[in-house]
């Protein structure tokens, strides 16, 4: 075998090696892209499962007012409820009168009627967990124990927005929202801010 034949044989081996290298590279690149696609699909599926879990425990807190107009038994109520499909964990409640934070419904009534603060009923909302479909009486004032004038003035202040309630609540997954009674809107928030520990609302 001549020296020329050895060079030809070596060149043929090199060509085979190059072809094998190219095939390996193509397979590696293909495997990489298949892995990326599989990872993307897995992340999408995990995100879809998380959204489904969040939707299955989604709370929706709201406020409404109720007015009873029977003569001599006039009564005005503020109701807080949950119309979602999961529990609403009420974290903070802030009630303001003309943008000034009030620490109790009694304080609001004293602002309206001086020292007269009887005739009201209220339940503490801070820290309450509302089950789906549950309503709770936040505040009520009645003419039988207070006066018709106080009932009417309280109703006017609440419905005009001068007395306003903001409630921040979270789901069991710590997704949080704030409902603003005066604006009748609910917006998502990162977390609920802490309120004054003296707040009894």
Contact between 78 and 107 (Cβ < 8 Å)? no
Task: State whether residue 181 is helix, strand or coil.
Answer: coil
User: Quick one: which of 140, 159, 162, 160 has its CA closest to 151?
Assistant: 140
Residue, of 53 and 170, whose pLDDT is higher: 170
Least confident of 8-17, 33-42, 74-83, 106-115: 8-17
Residue, of 136 and 53, whose pLDDT is higher: 136
Position 57 scores a pLDDT of 87
The dihedral over CA atoms of 76, 77, 83, 87, expressed in degrees to the nearest 10, equals 180
Task: Please state whether beta strands 61-68 and 75-82 pair in parallel, antiparallel, or not at all (unpaired).
Answer: antiparallel
87-to-171, 189, 195 alpha-carbon distances in Å: 6, 17, 21
Q: Would the pLDDT of 2 be above 70?
A: no
Least confident of 113-122, 135-144, 160-169: 113-122
Q: Specify the DSSP class assigned to residue 121.
A: E
What would the pLDDT profile of 27-39 be if each residue is shown by its tens digit?
A: 888 888 888 887 7
Position 55 scores a pLDDT of 59
Least confident of 49-53, 149-153, 189-193: 49-53
Position 196 scores a pLDDT of 86
Q: Would the pLDDT of 13 be above 80?
A: no
User: Quick one: which of 200, 177, 199, 201 has its CA closest to 190?
Assistant: 177
Q: Would the pLDDT of 6 be above 60?
A: no
Contact between 48 and 59 (Cβ < 8 Å)? no
What span, in angstroms and rounded, lies between the C-alpha atoms of 70 and 57? 39
Residue, of 84 and 68, whose pLDDT is higher: 84
Sequential DSSP letters for 17-49: HHHHHHHHHHHHHHHHHHHHHHHHHHHHHHHHH
């Amino acid at each position: 075998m001549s020296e020329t034949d050895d060079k030809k044989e070596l060149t043929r081996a090199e060509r085979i090696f190059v072809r094998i290298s190219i095939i390996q590279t193509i397979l590696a690149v293909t495997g990489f892209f298949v892995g990326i696609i599989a990872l993307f699909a897995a992340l999408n599926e995990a995100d879809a499962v998380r959204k489904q879990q969040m939707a299955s425990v989604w709370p929706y807190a709201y406020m409404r007012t109720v007015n009873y107009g029977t003569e001599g038994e006039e009564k005005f109520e503020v109701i807080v409820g949950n119309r979602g499909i999961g529990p609403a964990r009420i974290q903070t409640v802030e009630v303001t009168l003309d943008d000034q934070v009030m620490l109790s419904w009694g304080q609001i009534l004293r602002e309206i009627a001086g020292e007269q603060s009887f005739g009201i009923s209220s339940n503490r909302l801070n820290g309450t967990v509302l089950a789906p479909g549950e309503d709770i009486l936040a505040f009520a004032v009645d003419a039988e124990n207070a006066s018709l004038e106080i009932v009417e003035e309280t109703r006017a202040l609440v419905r005009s927005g001068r007395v306003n309630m903001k409630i921040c609540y979270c789901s069991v997954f710590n997704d949080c929202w704030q409902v603003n009674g005066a604006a009748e809107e609910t917006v998502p928030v990162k977390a609920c801010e802490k309120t004054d520990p003296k707040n009894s609302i």
